[in-house]
Structure 1
Amino acid sequence: MDATITRHGFDEVMVPNYAPSQIIPVRGSGSRVWDQSGKEYIDFAGGIAVNALGHCHTELVNALKAQGEQLWHLSNVWTNEPAIRLARQLCAATFAEQVYFANSGAEANEAAFKLARKYAKDHYSAEKTEIIAFNNAFHGRTLFTVSVGGQEKYCRGFEPLPGDITHLPFNDLASIEYQISDRTCAVVVEPIQGEAGILPAEPIFLEGLRALCDKHNALLIFDEIQTGMGRTGDLFAYQGTKVTPDILTSAKALGCGVPIGAMLTTKIIAESFSVATHGSTYGGNPLACAVASRALELINDPTLLAGVKQRHQTFMSGLQQLNSKIGLFSDIRGQGLLIGCELKPAWQGKARELLTFAQEQGLMILIAGPDVIRLAPSLIIPYPDINKGLQQLAQAMLALKMGY
């Protein structure tokens, strides 16, 4: 620990677009984290669904060290072995035939939206530019992706925004049927809306989107930044449905904490990104790709994925038992290890307070808006850690209920 580094220092030297907790974590191992004072926490947050294999997984540390001693960065003037290896793995594991690498989910989505418009113009017409997205979606913080997400709180002050983006109600197929036309170049959807409160897309909704996109020659884009890499119990959430997208974006757990994003698509669509139409200085760098390659090998394992579904049942059973006694939640929902607990009307607006009480108990959780707590722990979190974390959550729930 560096005694000269304190939470006060953040306010002095960091741009104030974040308001982090008053603690500063300094070490992590598995599903445990320790702060500067040595206090231990159980991690149900997972770096917002990033640390899919927990903190400092031995295999990932070894991959990072090995590549770090060979080659870090080249730029895209040259390619590299880890990038090609990772792209082959992703194609072998999914519908995709080609991959574009970026540094984040926002960048992967930016590439997807640009590609959708370019493909439409290449194959249909210059007027085929509309992107349909859904209310309360979240696709990133670049100007284009925040505009497609459409949440006013993230757009305010940055106008004028990119145009020809239409926002419609989530899980409302009739509204899509009414709006979509031959001017629509793409429909983008999260299989589970994360920031909106862990809201799963209904199977009939996704199937309807696929049919409507086919009818109007529009691309169906799945934003799997949060739901991908085993989070739902399938490698990617689309694999647990009857729907295959045209473009899929991944990030977060793809590198398990090492920054990397990816856009996956077919060869015919990828052709519209010809040489120099898009790019990234760091995208596909060997260091990140080497770690992501090992992460994908570990996560794309039937036993691990089955374990995610088993842990889901443990979490759901435990949360329901807590709620039957304490009664704070009106709904507990989600898939795999992406779970949302919505507060009852009497407690709405207090999700962040519950997060604070949980932290005091030694538990890290997340929120998804003001009314929902979000759990996104390691996919291999030990069962004793689940049980202890749920006990800590119960104490936090009681503290909120009692007004401590």
Structure 2
Amino acid sequence: MAQGQFKRDYSLLFAKRFFFLIVMALLQVYPSVAQEKPELKIGGALRFNYNLSSWKDGQKKRGGDFGYDLFRINTKASYKGIFLDAEYRLYSSEFGGGMLKQGWIGYNFNDQNQIQVGLTQVPFGIQQYNSNNWFFNLPYYVGLEDDLDMGVKYVHTGEKIEYHLAFFKNAEELKFGDNTEISPSRYSYDIAGRNKEANQINGKFVYKFGKEYLSRVGISLQYGGLYNLDTEEMGNHSALSIHYELTKGLWDVKVQFISAAHNPENAAGESREIVSMAAYGAPYQVASDFTIYTLNVARNVPVEWGPVSSLKFYNDFAFMGKNVSGFTDSFMNVTGVLVAAGNVYTYIDYAAGYNHSWLGGNFVDDFAKGNPNATWEARFNVNLGYYF
């Protein structure tokens, strides 16, 4: 048997066994009381964005730009214990246009146990977000923060122990061709180009403790296949995260370590030191092996200023070390405040980046090879949104 065939068969066997374990776990829980009347809730948001970027000379001369960010619709429905959670977003055509951010069908077995099927959040690291600002943090830009894929997830939420087990068949698939690359019109970053994510398993375990303060310490594991469209061989990718969250009074602290590796079975002559990732309408390159450290600190301040009820000050920092010879590391730091006024939420951010694809420099390979002569670039950003 060829080595590639062995890898592919082993990956599928591993995924099937993991899915079997999820099903067996479901048999251990008790069903919830069926809901008699159907419920439907519709919500959404309209957001606008102002930004002024240090690397855009024309923009600086005219004092920045203010325009449309997104319009989104959120739908939640439930009947007889089965529920739906979906969100559709409309960005400008330059940022991918319309896309399903999330959409899954779920069932609550009881107050602590739930299953979700569809386009659901990958259980990895600090969630829902490992950040406080509008820009997210570095893990998001490499597919490890608020990532959503197609699969099934089982969630247990106890008083002290929380765990998530999941199997994802693949990332969002929009074309269903035999040899087609994924569409870049997506919300979260996924492997793109001539490789496709396949048969991924995830496990996340969290222990909660503390009386005067709440602490959450956890570990997340991820392993899956990378199917190459040219060689028809199955490579693999894996990631590990150790994370800690502290909430004490009005203070919030989030600390996380991530190690990730990608081993694609590319065609001869194609580099295996980089992988392509895509979202928001465009792909870019990412180092195949890297580590990320993040530290986020926030302080909530209740106020009574007319409609303004609270201010949340924060600083989110991240470092990405690329474990590839000759590649330059990346940094990101965002200082800002979230202003809450009724249904209006405004993020005011000063985001700085070094070898960051969305913060100056060369968009295509900042998260891959990078530039050793790069300079820090910054963007002052105000995102104004009405959420309903």
Whether these two folds match at TM > 0.5 is no
Higher relative contact order (CA 8 A, sep 6+): 1
More helix by share: 1
TM-score, normalization by structure 2 = 0.29
More strand by share: 2
